[in-house]
Amino acid sequence: MRFSHTFSPLPFLLLLAPLLCGGVCKPTVLGGGPKPERLKLPAGFTVSTFAEGVRTVRAMAWSPNGILYAGSNDEGCVYAMPDRDGNGRADTVIVVASGLQMPVGVAWREGTLYVSAVSRIVALDDIDAHLDAPPAPRTVYAGFPKETHHGWKFIAFGPDGHLYVPVGAPCNICLSEDSIFASITRIGTDGSGPEIVAHGVRNSVGFDWDPRDSSLWFSDNGRDWMGDDMPSCELNRLAKPGQHFGYPFCHQGDTLDPEFGKGRHCSDFVPPKAKLGPHVAPLGMRFYRGGMFPERYRGAIFIAEHGSWNRSKPIGYRVVVAMPRPDGTVETEVFAEGWLEGGRAWGRPVDVQELPDGSLLVSDDAADVIHRITYNAR
């Protein structure tokens, strides 16, 4: 099987929507390096800097050999950050690949680093042993769409050994003739057997598997231009392959789209496990498996909210935690905030990554920093 791609262009008015809506407040992103003292966390937690100067840093992956890898967006680079002495700070930042197209996603498996590059998945073989002279990227698969609108891709290996790769909708709101768009897919480590496992997913940039039952949970970014408070971004759970999560027909599990929802019923689709808020842009997420944080966080999901870009009053720009309950409900609360101050953001959380000691890394593509959160009960 090989994915084929055809796309129906957006209606002209949709292309004009940003110009017609008015009232947009795109927050000023100041950047300028780490400012851990400005972040607010629950009692007992502290923030330090794992690495800085990591340009447009995005998703992260950990090698058991003590090396953090991270992708980037506009920079086109893949970074390696070894922490050989285990002191919680990178020894150095090394560029191990460059010139790639939006290499946002990275995933390490059996010595090989897999990297997303819009239409391609490439691999850096035996990378841990060759940081100073990295191998040329080897193409694993080149059958994903070439569209760059929502074309960046978070990637991760599932418990089944397959590499999971999302394919975002090539638009804000549209219905493509090709089912590959607005989906989550998976392929073998050699690029074989591509298949779609989830439909109706507008733009997922983060997912992880529940350590209790191996089900796939993922964040999804809601559509724009339905107002400041609609629709909510989502946290979803895939119980079985082939489920449809609503896009572009139904949003947040209970709201039909004004154009594509006609004649549809939200009950026909899988509702979200939690509504995360409108335009907060949830990206990377991980189940917490470590032992450093208090017991209440074990099995909880940490989610990085990149923050709104077109809401009249900016929101997001924080890390939240979602706590699945035995009755199937999910409670959410703010875990880390302070990146947004008076409508001005100095940083934007992108991804979270647990380290072997149980501390939590948070990448920040505005400040070009990777923060490290630790806990000490004192």
pLDDT-derived band at 11, boundaries 50, 70, 90: very low
Identify whether 37 is part of a domain.
Answer: no
Identify whether 251 is part of a domain.
Answer: yes
Identify whether 14 is part of a domain.
Answer: no
pLDDT at position 35 is: 80
Mean pLDDT of the chain: 92
Identify whether 186 is part of a domain.
Answer: yes
Give the HSE-up count for residue 164: Cα atoms under 13 Å, Cβ half-sphere. 22
Residue 5 has pLDDT above 70, yes or no: no
pTM: 0.92
Contact 122, 115 (CB under 8 A): yes
Identify whether 343 is part of a domain.
Answer: no
Identify whether 38 is part of a domain.
Answer: no
The pLDDT tens digits for 122-139 are: 999 999 999 999 999 999
Least confident of 12-21, 210-219, 327-336: 12-21
Identify whether 4 is part of a domain.
Answer: no
Residue 20 has pLDDT above 80, yes or no: no
CATH number, domain of 184, equals: 2.120.10.30
Interval 306-330 mean pLDDT: 96
Range of the domain at 288: 51-327+352-375
Between the alpha carbon of residue 33 and those of residues 53, 55, 79, 363, the distances in Å are 7, 10, 17, 12
The pLDDT tens digits for 176-204 are: 999 999 999 999 999 999 999 999 999 99
Q: Which residues of 145-180 are buried (b: 16+ CB within 10 A; e: fewer)?
A: bebebbbbbbbbbeeeebbbbbbbbbbbbbebebeb
- The domain total for the chain is 1
The pLDDT tens digits for 294-310 are: 999 999 999 999 999 99
Identify whether 27 is part of a domain.
Answer: no
